[in-house]
Amino acid sequence: MNRNCRLCGGSRTQGHATFAAELGFGVVVVRHVSAMVADQCGEEWLDDSVAEALESGIAAARANHTNVEVTEWRGRAA
């Protein structure tokens, strides 16, 4: 796996990101999501398993018509 950012050329290291999804009728924010982060530009990449877990949490919030949800990453979206 290439550990350099394609945007800035900087190193990508394990870190955290904040993920937000606009639902049209509300918003979901998940803080401290596991991500690879470029040390120069801050661009973030999520592993497929992390993205899938976030998608599941977003789908649940959409089904519940959540207006605002802010949560911490715990290996899956709440």
pLDDT at residue 77 in the model = 44
Report the candidate in 49, 4, 5, 59 with the shortest Cα–Cα distance to residue 28. Answer: 59
Strand bridging mode 27-38 / 44-45: antiparallel
What pTM, to 2 d.p., does this model score? Answer: 0.80
pLDDT at residue 2 in the model = 61
Q: Torsions phi, psi of 58, nearest 5?
A: -65, -40
- C-alpha radius of gyration, the chain, whole number: 14
pLDDT tens digit at each of 78 positions of the chain: 568 999 999 999 999 999 999 999 999 999 999 999 999 999 999 999 999 999 999 999 999 998 999 999 987 544
* Domains along the chain with CATH numbers: 12-72 (3.10.20)
| Distance between first and last Cα of the chain | 30
Cα–Cα distance for residue pair 70/1, rounded to 1 Å: 32
